[in-house]
Structure 1
């Protein structure tokens, strides 16, 4: 297994940030390259469509409102990995705002560890950059 992780400090309270990103179906609210999120199976499976029309199916594995985090796995996606599990978490930094942490573990499939890590670091970094822009707007 290999992994990727990116974090971002934002000048908003952890509760404000969690209200924006904490819903499992909320990606289109802050991630512009995800144009649709459809929840099924009682909200435990999300089917995402990106701006290129690709479909990604993810399953909610754990949700912790108090800790402001959720963990999910990928059931189907156009990524060169398998056994993907990711965590999105919002950490309270008090008067300094919040830190958003996005991390994942996966087994590369047809690419090197470095290539798979770089792919997900880019996805997480671009996503958190989009989140910062949404919060600033």
Structure 2
């Protein structure tokens, strides 16, 4: 199992960063050309620039805490990812840290229920 983390500080309000990152993936992630939700928002189908599809399952979504956790269930690559995006309370009025942590495993998580 491999682990990774990335953080970036942005000169925006935490609430504004959450609207973007907690919203539509194609709005901020250039690889994703299309995103469709199903199963009440629990499943997200993504289409990349080459037409490859990815299916993600949402495991946790915390609007007040500005975080969500998902797992990749299907992709053209052989690694399945469990990942969390989080935007904690702003560092100051106009400075926020966006956090992304993830693990990769060789087999997908089979459950798919939002907590």
Task: Please report the TM-score for the alignment, with normalisation by the length of structure 2.
Answer: 0.85
CA distance in 2, matches of 1:37, 1:6: 23
Match of 1:56 in 2: 54
CA distance in 1, matches of 2:60, 2:22: 12
The DSSP-based 3-state class of the residue aligned with 1:94 is coil
- Deviation, 1:19, is 0.8
- Deviation, 1:78, is 2.0
Relative to total residues, which structure has the larger helix share, 1 or 2?
Answer: 1
Note the aligned Cα RMSD (angstroms): 1.5
Gaps of 5+ in 2: 108-115
Alignment partner of 2:40 out of 4, 26, 42: 42
Which aligned segments of 4 or more residues in structure 1 are displaced greater than 3 angstroms? Answer: none
Match of 2:11 in 1: 11
Number of positions where the alignment pairs a residue of Structure 1 with one of Structure 2: 106
Gaps of 5+ in 1: 110-137
> Per-residue displacement from partner, 1:80-101 (whole Å, max 9, x unpaired)?
323x210011122123511111
